[in-house]
Amino acid sequence: MSRTTLLHTNTSQAVRLNKDVAFPKGVREATVPRDGPRRVVVPSDAGWDDFFASPGFVLGERNQPPIQGRGHAPARPP
């Protein structure tokens, strides 16, 4: 993980990306979705599949409860 600074200009902010986390030269536009207090900067043409397929992102084991049985609704009168 890389640490950087925010640049403030009036009501705008800019993030300076260090060389080790910089986007390739061809990337000219980025999208910044909110994730609670975090902001994730991704190239605008990238899909979420790239994000979840990246190394280091582990969802971990999920303790899934058993499927609950459901009773059937009473039949409606004709």
pLDDT, residue 51, reads 67
Identify the pLDDT of residue 7. Answer: 93
pTM: 0.49
pLDDT 10s digits, 3-50: 888 999 999 999 999 989 999 888 889 988 888 888 888 888 776 766
CA 25 to chain centre: 22
pLDDT band with cut points at 50, 70 and 90 for residue 57: low
* Tokens 């980025």 belong to residue: 30
